[in-house]
Amino acid sequence: MKKAVCGNSFGNTIPLVEAMNMAKAAGFDGIEPSLSLDGPITTTTSDDDLKRLRDHAEKTVAIHGLMGGQAIRSTPLTTLDEDQIKRGAENIGDALRVVKALGGNSLLIVPGTVSESVRYDVAYEGTLEGLKQVAPVAEELQVAVAVENVWNKFLLSPLEMRNLIDEVNSPYVGCYFDVGNFMAWAIPQHWIEIVAHRIKKVHVKDFKLDAGNRSGFVTLLQGDVDWKAVRSSLRAVGYDSYLSAEIPLHSTFPEKSLLDISTSLDTIIASA
């Protein structure tokens, strides 16, 4: 298993190249930047700029994938409007090409949000259709589209996540599982065992159950995640890719935060 850190952990003041240098110094193997609407990585970033980033990654830490971020959320799939679904799928396809150019193999997406104006079954059907449309592009590029479990009132059960992926029926469409995200109402190791081989990548953060809301998110080994059980379940389903820490760094001592996360990941990986 490999250790990575998310680009958004570094905030808006540390440039990506510097973040890659810092990650290497702290013992990480990879980094996962976010695709954005205004840089440093967008769907219109030039080939030369992407090559410069890839070249720097070869000297520091791999860009193993991208988080879709607002660039993907701006064209949600959670609709029955055929034109919007088509635009969303095309946008994901453009993002997959950027991931490929950077040497990565996954794109994290959040397909949309269930809300008063977006009914759950509509969100499901639209997401399913959009993923089916983009699957051939993912297969051609050999870059996975990975749907994350987040606080968007959607795909709240591992059974739904599993069924969605199976209905798409592509080896390059799967789940991006976030260990800490559903701690308030689910058991992470159960998700892992149910979604199983469909998990393409894993985010790690911890969560304090007493908080019961977004203030419960904490750094690794400071919350209530049963990391030994999580590690055991990951091993049982054959997961051997990146564990990417999605944890904000200390504003004054970011290097110390990175080192703490890195050593905590070492402990988790060795725990089962």
pTM, full prediction: 0.97
- DSSP state, residue 35: P
Judge whether residue 212 has pLDDT over 90.
Answer: no
* Beta pairing partners, 204: 245
Please give the CATH architecture assigned to the domain spanning 2-269: Alpha-Beta Barrel (3.20)
Reading the block at residue 196, the tokens are 């199983």
Buried b (16+ CB within 10 A) or exposed e, 103-134: bbbbbbbbbbbbeeebeeebbbbbbbbbbbbb
Judge whether residue 67 has pLDDT over 90.
Answer: yes
Pick the closest to residue 64 from 38, 85, 86, 33 (CA basis): 33
CA angle 165, 217, 113 (to 5 degrees): 40
Alpha carbon 110 to its chain's center: 9
Contact present, 98 and 134 (Cβ < 8 Å): no
Predicted local confidence at residue 39, as pLDDT: 84
Q: How far apart are CA 108 and CA 111, in angstroms?
A: 10
Write out the DSSP string of 42-73.
-TT--HHHHHHHHHHHHHS-EE--EE-HHHHH
Q: How far apart are CA 125 and CA 111, in angstroms?
A: 11
Judge whether residue 77 has pLDDT over 80.
Answer: yes
Contact present, 9 and 33 (Cβ < 8 Å): no
Predicted local confidence at residue 124, as pLDDT: 98
Predicted local confidence at residue 122, as pLDDT: 98
Place of tokens 């870059």: 143
> Which positions ≥6 away from 52 have C-beta within 8 Å?
none
- How do the domains of the chain map onto residue ranges? 2-269
Predicted local confidence at residue 45, as pLDDT: 96
Judge whether residue 272 has pLDDT over 80.
Answer: no
Predicted local confidence at residue 254, as pLDDT: 97
DSSP SS3 for 219: coil
Q: How far apart are CA 119 and CA 117, in angstroms?
A: 6
Please give the average per-residue pLDDT across 110-122, as a whole number: 98
